[in-house]
Structure formats: structure tokens, C-alpha cells
């Protein structure tokens, strides 16, 4: 008995000396609220409170029909946008080719008009020279008329005198006949020169008419050249239309991208009609019912993950105990609800302040009478095992922890 008593006292002394313990500890865990990304009527429920779900398991189904209509509409809009973009791309090539041909044709017509104007100017010059020559010829012929007329008059006068002399017998009949012949020859020459004058006058009038016609053609060529220059200017201005068509094509491509985004958004909304579990855990606090209309992003249930990455222990040690606690120390955890098992953990971190600092009404020792109260500092303890034993460790359970002083199992990121 004495040995047993000494043994018990020794065990108590060992644990009180080398271990820091507290029962002011409880299990804490991440609780994930679940909400719908889209609104609608619930047409199917796949889970209930306290059910285990894996990540990706279906939870509820929102009526997908309205969202399927939106997908169909977005798909039709996308097809139309793609068709418009394809037509716009083809139109760019057609407009560029057409406007280039228009410019080439306008320049060719301009060159033809310029050549025609030059030819018309040359023709006017030639016609003017010909007219000048015809006038010179007319002047030369008319200059001969007075001499020929004088000769014809002189021949007529001689004929008259010789006829009177021949009647008196003063001259021979032969001389009279010679004067008659000379008179007729002179008259013929006068008639001939008059005919030449008339022909020259007609030629002058014809050449003058040709000059007028050449001038008209020259004026027409000038107007045609001006019209060709205007057409070239219009064709050059039309070269901007391919750039406009390219801008329209780019805008059509942007509308395709927008339609694709709307289509993907509609598909996403349709896929969100099936609400899935974001992670594994236990369904809790379900408020959703069949036939109920849900509001987007309004939580209707929670999932409590029970893996050791999402479940830990918060132990509140007194100030004097914290002198023997270090980050990385090994911890033994006993859960009140699981008396048949003790868990191994380690000190992960220490809170930035005591519990009273973060309370709704923190203590203000500068008012009233001061009473010294031992404070407690929250310490986070992580489970060392990879699995939650039979997923029995759940948030809110009470625990008792023992920190093995000086037995560091890993190095933490924080220093205490």
C-alpha cells in the first residue's frame, strides 16, 4: 500500500511537473455554408441533416428549364454572331478588291481623258493652222483678181475698137478675130480666178467650221478630264471603306466573343442548377425544402468537414501555464465523447490576445476597483494523425489536453 501511494504521488508529481494540462478546451472546425449560385424552384432534394457527403455529391436540383431556354437562346445568338463575323470578314476582302478596282479604273479613265484632251488641243492647233493657210490662199487668190480683171477689161476694150475698125476696113478681119479670141481668153481667166476665189472662200469657211468643232471637242475633253479627276478623288476617298469594313469585322468578332461569353455564362448557370457539395463532411442545419424558391448566395445548409485539416482543438491555458508551452510541443488530447481513445497532436499556434480582449465588452481595469483575474490565452492544437477516428471528433466537443513540456515534435511557423 505504501509503495502504491508513493507510486501514485510520483505519477501525479511527474505529470504536474512535466505536463501542462487543462480541461478548458474544445474541438473547433471549419463549417462551410452552402448556397445556390442561381435562383429558382427546388425540384429535387438529395440530402438531409446529418448525412455524410463527399465532395461533388449532389445536394439539390433547381428547375433547369428556364436556364436551358437561356442556353438555347445564347447558342442561337452565338451562331448568328459567328455568321455575321464570317460575312464581315468576306465583305472586307470584297470591299478592298472592289474599291481597288474602282481606283484603278478611275485612274485609267483619267489617263484616257488626259490623252483625249491633249489630242483635242493638238487638233485645235492643226485646224487653226489649216484655217490660217486657207485664209492665206484666199488672200493670194483675191490678190490676183484685180490684175486678171484689168486684163479682161483691156481685152474687152481692144475687141470693141477692133470691131469698129474692122467695120470701116481699117484693119483686117484676122486682127479682129485675134482680138475676139484674146477677149474670150481674158474673160475665161477672169471667170477662172473668180471660181478659185469662191472655192478658197468655201475652203476657208470649212476650215473655220473645223476649228470651231475642234474647240468644242477640246472643251468636251476638258470637262471629261475634270469629271475623271473627280472620279479619281472619289475612288481615293473610297479606299477608306476597306478600313471601315475591317473595323466592322473587328466589331463583329468582338460580338462573337461577347456571345461566347454569354453562352458560357448561360451554360454555367445551367450547370449550377445542380447544387453539389463543395467538400466532404456532414450536412447540418438544412433549411431548404422541396418546392421552395431559393435566392442566389443565400445559405440554406452547412457542411461540417471532419478531416484533421479542418478540425482542431482550442485550449485556453492560464497565464502561468503559458510559460511552459511552446509551439511544436506534443499534446495528448482526450475527447469526453470518446473515452476509449486518446489523440496525439501538437501546438500549432498561440492567439494574439487573451479571451477578454476579444470579448464584446472587454475589461477596463482603469475604472472602479481593480481586481486581478488570471487570464487565459487560446492555443490551437492540431491533430497529428492523418484521419479522424471513425469521424467521431466533431466541432464543439469538450476535451482535456496535456502538453508534454519540452517534447517538440515539429517546428511551427509562429514563435511563442
- Which CATH number does the domain housing residue 115 bear? 1.10.287.620
| 77 and 28 both lie in a single domain | no
Helical ranges in 169-240 per DSSP H: 173-237
Per the domain annotation, does 64 fall within a domain? no
Digitized pLDDT (tens) for each residue of the chain, 416 residues in all:
455 545 544 444 444 455 799 999 999 999 999 999 999 999 999 999 999 999 999 999 999 999 999 999 999 999 999 999 999 888 888 888 888 888 888 888 889 889 988 998 998 899 889 989 988 888 888 888 888 788 878 878 777 877 777 777 777 777 777 778 887 888 888 888 888 888 888 988 998 898 899 899 999 989 998 998 898 888 888 777 888 888 888 999 999 999 999 999 999 999 999 999 999 999 999 999 999 999 999 999 999 998 888 999 999 999 999 999 999 999 999 999 998 889 999 999 999 888 777 777 777 667 666 677 888 999 999 998 777 767 889 999 999 999 998 788 777 665 66
Question: 287 lies in a domain?
Answer: no
The answer to whether position 231 is within a domain reads yes
How many angstroms separate the CA atoms of 94 and 86, rounded? 13
For residue 190, the tally of other CB atoms under 10 A from its CB is 20
Residue 163 within any structural domain of the chain: yes
Q: Let me know whether 303 and 347 are in one domain.
A: yes
Q: Is residue 268 part of a domain?
A: no
CB atoms within 10 A of CB 169: 8
Q: Do 218 and 361 lie in a common domain?
A: no
Residue 150 domain flag: yes
333: domain CATH number? 2.40.30.170
* Residue 11 is assigned to a structural domain of this protein: no
| Same domain? 239 vs 323 | no
Residues 338, 397, single domain; the answer is: yes
Question: What are the two backbone dihedrals, phi and then psi, of residue 363, each rounded to the nearest 5 degrees?
Answer: -70, 145
Is residue 24 within 8 Å of residue 319, measured between CB atoms? Answer: no
| DSSP structure class, residue 52 | E
Same domain (yes/no): 230, 329 = no
Domain membership of residue 53 (yes or no) is no
The set of cell numbers assigned to 80 is 448568328
Query: Pick from 201, 223, 246: which residue ends a domain?
Result: 246
What is the residue range of 123's domain?
70-246
Tell me, yes or no, whether 321 and 242 share the same domain.
no
3-state secondary structure 249-297: HHHHHHHHHHHHHHHHHHHHHHHCCEEECCCCEEEECCCCCCCCEECCC
Residue 231 shares a structural domain with residue 309: no
**One domain for residues 226 and 339:** no
Q: What is the structure's pLDDT at 5? A: 47
Q: Which of 383, 393, 407, 268 is nearest to 327 (CA)?
A: 407
pLDDT at res. 149: 82
Considering the domain architecture, whether residues 23 and 93 belong to the same structural domain is answered as: no
Q: How many domains does the chain have?
A: 2
Cβ atoms of residues 42 and 287 within 8 Å: no
pTM metric for this prediction:
0.62
Amino acid at each position: 500500500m505504501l509503495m502504491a501511494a508513493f507510486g501514485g504521488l510520483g505519477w501525479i508529481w511527474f505529470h504536474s511537473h512535466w505536463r501542462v494540462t487543462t480541461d478548458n478546451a474544445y474541438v473547433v472546425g471549419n463549417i462551410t455554408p452552402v448556397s445556390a449560385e442561381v435562383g429558382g424552384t427546388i425540384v429535387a432534394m438529395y440530402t438531409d441533416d446529418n448525412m455524410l457527403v463527399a465532395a461533388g455529391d449532389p445536394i439539390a436540383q433547381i428547375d433547369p428549364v428556364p436556364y436551358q431556354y437561356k442556353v438555347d437562346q445564347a447558342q442561337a445568338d452565338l451562331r448568328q454572331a459567328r455568321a455575321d463575323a464570317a460575312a464581315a470578314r468576306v465583305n472586307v476582302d470584297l470591299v478592298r478588291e472592289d474599291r481597288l478596282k474602282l481606283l484603278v479604273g478611275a485612274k485609267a479613265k483619267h489617263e484616257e481623258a488626259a490623252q483625249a484632251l491633249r489630242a483635242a488641243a493638238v487638233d485645235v492647233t492643226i485646224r487653226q493652222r489649216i484655217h490660217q493657210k486657207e485664209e492665206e490662199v484666199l488672200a493670194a487668190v483675191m490678190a490676183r483678181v484685180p490684175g486678171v480683171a484689168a486684163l479682161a477689161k483691156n481685152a474687152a476694150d481692144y475687141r470693141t475698137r477692133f470691131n469698129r475698125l474692122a467695120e470701116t476696113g481699117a484693119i483686117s478681119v484676122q486682127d479682129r478675130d485675134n482680138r475676139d479670141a484674146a477677149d474670150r481668153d481674158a474673160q475665161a481667166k477672169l471667170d477662172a480666178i473668180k471660181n478659185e476665189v469662191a472655192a478658197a472662200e468655201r475652203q476657208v469657211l470649212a476650215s473655220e467650221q473645223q476649228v470651231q468643232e475642234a474647240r468644242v471637242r477640246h472643251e468636251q475633253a476638258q470637262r471629261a478630264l475634270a469629271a475623271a479627276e473627280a472620279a479619281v478623288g472619289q475612288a481615293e476617298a473610297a479606299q477608306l471603306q476597306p478600313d471601315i469594313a475591317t473595323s466592322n469585322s473587328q466589331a463583329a468578332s468582338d460580338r462573337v466573343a461577347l456571345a461566347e461569353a454569354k453562352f458560357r455564362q448561360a451554360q454555367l448557370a445551367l450547370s449550377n442548377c445542380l447544387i453539389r457539395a463543395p467538400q466532404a463532411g456532414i450536412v447540418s442545419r438544412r433549411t431548404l425544402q422541396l418546392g421552395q424558391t431559393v435566392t442566389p448566395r443565400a445559405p440554406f445548409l452547412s457542411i461540417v468537414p471532419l478531416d484533421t485539416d479542418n478540425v482542431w482543438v482550442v485550449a485556453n491555458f492560464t497565464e502561468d501555464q503559458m510559460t511552459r508551452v511552446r509551439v511544436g510541443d506534443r499534446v495528448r488530447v482526450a475527447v469526453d465523447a470518446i473515452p476509449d481513445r486518446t489523440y496525439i497532436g501538437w501546438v500549432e499556434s498561440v492567439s494574439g490576445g487573451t479571451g477578454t480582449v476579444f470579448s464584446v465588452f472587454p475589461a477596463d481595469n482603469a475604472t472602479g476597483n481593480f481586481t486581478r483575474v488570471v487570464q487565459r490565452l487560446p492555443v490551437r492544437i492540431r491533430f497529428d494523425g492523418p484521419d479522424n477516428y471513425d469521424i467521431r471528433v466533431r466541432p464543439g466537443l469538450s476535451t482535456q489536453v496535456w502538453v508534454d513540456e519540452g517534447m517538440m515534435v515539429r517546428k511551427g511557423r509562429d514563435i511563442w
